[in-house]
Amino acid sequence: MINLILIFSNIVFAAPSINFDGAYSKPCQKYETVSSSEQLQITDQSWIRSYQLFSDSECAAPSVQTDYSYKVLRTYQMIDMTVLKVQMTAMTESVAEKFNQTNYCGFTDWSVGQSKDVSGVKCGAVAMSSVGSMVYSVLYGEKDSTRKGRIFLGMPSESADGSTEFKRYYVIDPTSFIEN
């Protein structure tokens, strides 16, 4: 009986009829000397997931922002995300200068607030996602007229890197995106 309730609640929880369109964010993630935040903008099948890094531990002023644009196909709890573009923005003069000095992502003309298309390039030790590459994940969420929507997405694990349907992210990130 409990298994049937769990199965039913999962189907209702992320039913395709739920419209998740809107702006969502995660709370500030604090580390020793830095912090980060994430935002998610959903408009039908177009998603933009933004990551901001801060040089302080309070999410006061962003240093760098990276935006991933996706076309998303959702079937119940499964989401298949096609990368459309990856953009990075230096948010301070000191970061822009450092990026220029190190030829970060292959560019020497970084300026504050000006996004660069970094799709498919190597930025430091990180290879950025290429246009057309896929990320396979899961979505659990709730949204109704009485409270703000919440979205939980899958995250990488030892056995699932999200690169194929068979390596789909199934481990749920415990920190949800909350509708703004």
Which residue in 135, 137, 134, 95 sits closest to 112, CA to CA? 95
What global pTM score does this model have?
Answer: 0.88
Tens-place pLDDT, residues 116-174: 999 999 999 999 999 999 999 999 998 877 778 999 999 999 999 999 999 999 999 99
Domain ranges of the chain: 2-19+70-179
Mapping DSSP to helix (H, G, I), strand (E, B) and coil, where does residue 115 land?
strand
d(CA 54, CA 28): 10
- Note the pLDDT of residue 4: 33
- Note the pLDDT of residue 28: 93
Which amino acid, 6?
L
- Note the pLDDT of residue 16: 54
